[in-house]
C-alpha cells in the first residue's frame, strides 16, 4: 500500500486525466488528499470519468491540449509531480500519423520543458510495449531491441527518448512505464477502445464478436488499479530515476480464451463470433518479462484476471444499462 501520509508530493498534474488510465490515477491521488490537476483535450477523455471527484476542493479539471505550451504553463505553478498519460492512441495514428507524432513526441517535449522550468520533482511517463515491435526473443525484457512497427510505436518511442534526454541534460527525475493491454472500468468500449470492453459491448448489443485472425494471438493483460499502483510506486521510489520498466502483470491470455471468459461472465456462452483477416502488423505473441518492476518497485500485481475481468465487464454492463445505448 502507498502511505499517503508520507507521500512526498503535494501537487500533481495528470495529463490525459479524463481518459481511462489517467482518470484512475487522478482518483487515487484526489481521494488520498493530493491536490491534482487533470489536463485533457477531451479528444477521447470524458467529463463523466471525473464527475464524482468534483466535490473535492483540491481537484481541478482543466481542458487544455498538450500541444498548447502557454496553456499548459498556466497550470505548472507549485506542481511537484507530473504523470504523463495523454497520448494519441493507435487509431489516431493510422488515420492521422502526423497528429500522432505531434501529440506523442512534441506534447511530451512541451511537458518536459515545463517540468524542468518549474522544477518539478518527478516525471512519470506512460509508454507502451509497442516500442518493441516484433519479439526477437521472449519473454521480452526492457533490454529487448526497440523496433516499433506502427506509427504509434515510433511516436511513443520518440516520447520516451525525449524523457531520457531531459533526464541526461537537466537531471530531471523521471521514470518510464511501458504498459501492455491495460483493462478495467472506464475503458472505452467503442471500436477504438480496449478489446475486453469491445467484446462486452458486442454481446450486450446482441452483435457478433469479431476476431481478427484465428484467436490464438496472445495478449498480456494488466488491471488498471495495478497500473495505478505501479505509477505511485515509481513516483516515490528513488531508484526509478532514469529507468524504464515493463508494467505488465505477466498474465497471458489468448483472444479466443478472452472471448470465452467474457461470454461466460455475461451468461452468453457461444455468443456468435465472426473471424476476419489478421490486422496488418498485429503482434501475435506478447510474453513480457516483468521481473525488473517486481524486484525494484516491489509490486505484486495482485488482481487475478477473472476478478479484474468481472469488474470491467460489469462496469460496461452498468454503463450500457444506465444509458440504454453506448
Ligand atoms: N490502455 C492500454 O492498454 C495502454 C497500453 C499501452 C500504453 N498505454 C498508454 O497509456 C496512456 C493512457 O492511455 P489510455 O488507455 O488511458 O487512453 P485514453 O485514450 O483513454 O487516454 C488518453 C487521454 O489523453 C487525452 N489526449 C489525447 N490527445 C491529447 C492532447 N493532444 N492533449 C491533451 N489530452 C489529450 C485523451 O482525450 C484521453 O483522455 C497513453 O499514454 C497510452 O499510450 C495504454
In a domain, 236, yes or no: yes
Q: What is the pLDDT of residues 213-228, one digit of tens each?
A: 999 999 999 999 999 9
pLDDT band at 123 (very low <50, low <70, confident <90, very high): very high
Q: Tell me the CA–centroid distance for residue 322 and ligand 1, in Å.
A: 25
Active-site residue among 132, 151, 152, 183?
Answer: 152
Tell me how crowded residue 181 is: count the other CB atoms within 10 A of its CB. Answer: 19
- Atom of ligand 1 lying closest to residue 21 CA: 16
Report the C-alpha gap between 123 and 234 in whole angstroms. Answer: 10
Which of helix, strand or coil describes residue 125?
Answer: strand
Q: Are residues 96 and 212 both part of a single domain?
A: no
Q: What is the pLDDT of residues 289-325, one digit of tens each?
A: 999 999 999 999 999 999 999 999 999 999 988 887 7
Beta strands in the chain (DSSP E): 11-15, 35-40, 59-63, 81-84, 122-128, 174-179, 182-183, 209-212, 218-223, 243-247, 251-254, 273-276
Does 157 have pLDDT greater than 90?
yes
- For residues 299 and 293, the answer to whether their CB atoms sit within 8 Å is yes
Q: Are residues 74 and 153 both part of a single domain?
A: yes
**Over residues 118-125, mean pLDDT:** 98
- For residues 256 and 218, the answer to whether their CB atoms sit within 8 Å is no
> For ligand 1, atom 7, which residue shows the shortest CA distance?
128
Alpha helix (H) ranges present in 66-180?
69-73, 90-95, 97-101, 108-117, 151-170
Residue 152 designated active-site: yes
Q: What is the pLDDT of residues 78-115, one digit of tens each?
A: 999 999 999 997 666 778 999 999 999 999 999 999 99
Does 6 have pLDDT greater than 70?
yes
Distances (CA, A) of 269 to 166, 260, 263, 265, 280: 51, 7, 5, 9, 29
pLDDT score for 312: 97
Q: Tell me the CA–centroid distance for residue 266 and ligand 1, in Å.
A: 28
In a domain, 292, yes or no: no
Q: What is the pLDDT of residues 51-72, one digit of tens each?
A: 999 999 999 999 999 999 999 9
Report the C-alpha gap between 88 and 100 in whole angstroms. Answer: 5
Residues having CB within 6 Å of any atom of ligand 1: 16, 18-22, 40-45, 65-67, 85-89, 103, 107, 126, 128, 156, 179, 181-182, 188
**Over residues 4-29, mean pLDDT:** 98
Q: What is the pLDDT of residues 38-48, one digit of tens each?
A: 999 999 999 99
Does 281 have pLDDT greater than 90?
no
Q: Tell me the CA–centroid distance for residue 89 and ligand 1, in Å.
A: 6
Count up the domains in the chain and report the number: 2
Report the CATH number that the domain containing residue 259 is assigned in CATH.
3.90.25.10
Report the C-alpha gap between 220 and 26 in whole angstroms. Answer: 24
Q: Are residues 27 and 144 both part of a single domain?
A: yes
Amino acid at each position: 500500500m502507498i502511505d499517503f501520509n508520507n507521500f512526498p508530493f503535494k501537487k500533481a498534474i495528470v495529463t490525459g486525466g479524463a481518459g481511462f488510465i489517467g482518470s484512475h490515477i487522478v482518483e487515487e491521488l484526489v481521494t488520498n488528499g493530493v491536490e491534482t490537476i487533470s489536463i485533457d483535450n477531451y479528444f477521447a477523455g470524458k467529463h463523466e470519468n471525473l464527475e464524482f471527484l468534483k466535490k473535492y476542493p483540491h481537484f481541478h479539471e482543466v481542458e487544455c491540449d498538450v500541444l498548447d505550451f502557454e496553456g499548459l504553463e498556466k497550470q505548472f505553478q507549485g506542481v511537484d509531480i507530473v504523470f504523463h498519460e495523454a497520448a494519441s492512441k493507435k487509431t489516431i495514428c493510422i488515420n492521422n500519423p502526423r497528429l500522432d507524432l505531434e501529440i506523442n513526441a512534441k506534447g511530451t517535449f512541451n511537458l518536459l520543458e515545463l517540468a524542468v522550468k518549474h522544477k518539478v520533482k518527478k516525471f512519470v511517463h506512460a509508454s507502451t510495449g509497442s516500442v518493441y515491435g516484433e519479439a526477437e526473443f521472449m519473454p521480452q525484457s526492457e533490454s529487448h531491441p526497440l523496433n516499433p512497427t506502427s506509427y504509434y510505436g515510433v511516436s511513443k518511442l520518440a516520447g520516451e527518448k525525449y524523457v531520457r534526454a531531459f533526464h541526461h541534460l537537466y537531471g530531471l527525475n523521471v521514470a518510464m512505464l511501458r504498459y501492455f493491454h491495460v483493462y478495467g472500468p472506464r475503458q472505452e468500449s467503442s471500436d477504438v477502445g480496449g478489446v475486453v470492453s469491445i467484446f462486452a459491448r458486442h454481446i450486450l448489443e446482441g452483435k457478433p464478436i469479431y476476431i481478427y485472425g484465428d484467436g490464438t494471438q496472445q495478449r498480456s493483460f494488466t488491471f488498471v488499479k495495478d497500473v495505478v499502483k505501479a505509477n505511485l510506486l515509481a513516483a516515490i521510489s528513488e531508484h526509478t530515476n532514469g529507468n524504464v520498466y515493463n508494467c505488465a502483470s505477466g498474465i497471458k491470455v489468448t483472444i479466443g480464451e478472452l472471448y470465452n471468459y467474457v461470454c461466460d461472465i455475461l451468461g452468453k456462452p457461444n455468443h456468435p463470433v465472426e473471424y476476419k483477416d489478421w490486422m496488418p502488423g498485429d503482434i501475435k505473441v506478447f510474453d513480457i518479462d516483468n521481473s525488473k518492476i517486481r524486484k525494484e518497485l516491489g509490486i505484486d500485481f495482485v488482481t487475478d484476471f477473472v476478478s479484474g475481468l468481472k469488474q470491467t465487464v460489469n462496469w460496461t454492463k452498468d454503463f450500457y444499462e444506465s444509458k440504454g445505448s453506448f
